[in-house]
Amino acid sequence: MAFELQSLPYANDALEPYIDAQTMQIHHDMHHGTYVNNLNTALESQPDLQSKSIEELIRDLNSLPEAVRTPVRNNGGGHFNHSIFWTLMAPNAGGEPTGAIAQVINDTFGGFENFKTQFNDAGTKRFGSGFVWLVRSADGKYEIVSTPNQDNPWTDGHFPIMCNDVWEHAYYLKYQNRRAEYLKQWWNTVNWNEVNNRLATAP
């Protein structure tokens, strides 16, 4: 097994009432777990790729053998995206951003409220399934983007700083079809310390 499903950094019910325990358990154990299993299966015939990190696979996706490119895009992307996503949330978190990310948000988006509005709007308008991201682009600018399915901005050279998952399985048990409400409540879980950690490693 080249890749493993890491445990959540908190209990399944730690993000309640904003994200319920059953959603967290199904989302992590079953959805993320399936991506990991499928990724390992896809790489069984590619021992040279098994030694690469998930970041390397995603960044160099277009150079992978065609036979495994789509499975790695879908399942490797699912593994990578979720591995980031879990760390960006924490119990007793949320609130105003602090540290360097607060300055980035103020300078680029004109304040936290404007940033939230633009981020949530991008998440709401993502048709079907996908993620919404704050990225540092290849030319050093900070941008809000959304990607379909399990695609990741790294594939296009944009470093992912923070994200929210807008697949229905991330919110449907609690919010049903009310994605906008989920996006609004999600800010109560944001782990700004981890966002700053990622920001500090951005190229």
Residue 72's pLDDT is: 96
Looking at domain 100-200, its CATH superfamily turns out to be Iron/manganese superoxide dismutase, C-terminal domain (3.55.40.20)
Reported as a single tens digit per residue, the pLDDT across 6-55 is 999 999 999 999 999 999 999 999 999 999 999 999 999 898 899 899 99
Residue 47's pLDDT is: 87
Q: 37: exposed, middle or buried (C-beta count within 10 Å: 0-12, 13-18, 19+)?
A: middle
Residue 2's pLDDT is: 86
> Could you tell me the fold of the domain covering 21-87?
Helix Hairpins (1.10.287)
| Cβ burial 14-24 (10 Å sphere, 16+ → b, else e) | bbeebbbeebb
Query: In this structure, what token pair is assigned to residue 50?
Result: 């098994």
| Cβ burial 160-174 (10 Å sphere, 16+ → b, else e) | bbbbbbbbeebbebb
How many Å apart are CA 172 and CA 38, to the nearest integer? 24
- Closest Cα partner for 49 from 33, 61, 31, 37? 61
Reported as a single tens digit per residue, the pLDDT across 59-84 is 999 999 999 999 999 999 999 999 99
Question: Percent of the chain scored above 90 by pLDDT?
Answer: 96
Phi, psi of 189 (to 5 degrees): -110, -5
Does 21-87 match 100-200 in CATH topology? no
How many Å apart are CA 154 and CA 59, to the nearest integer? 5
pTM of the model as a whole: 0.96
3-state secondary structure of 153: helix
Residue spans of the domains in the chain: they are 21-87, 100-200
Residue 106's pLDDT is: 98
Reported as a single tens digit per residue, the pLDDT across 185-194 is 999 999 999 9
How many Å apart are CA 22 and CA 15, to the nearest integer? 11
Instruction: Tell me the pLDDT band of 1, cut-offs 50, 70 and 90.
Output: low
Reported as a single tens digit per residue, the pLDDT across 100-151 is 999 999 999 999 999 999 999 999 999 999 999 999 999 999 999 999 999 9
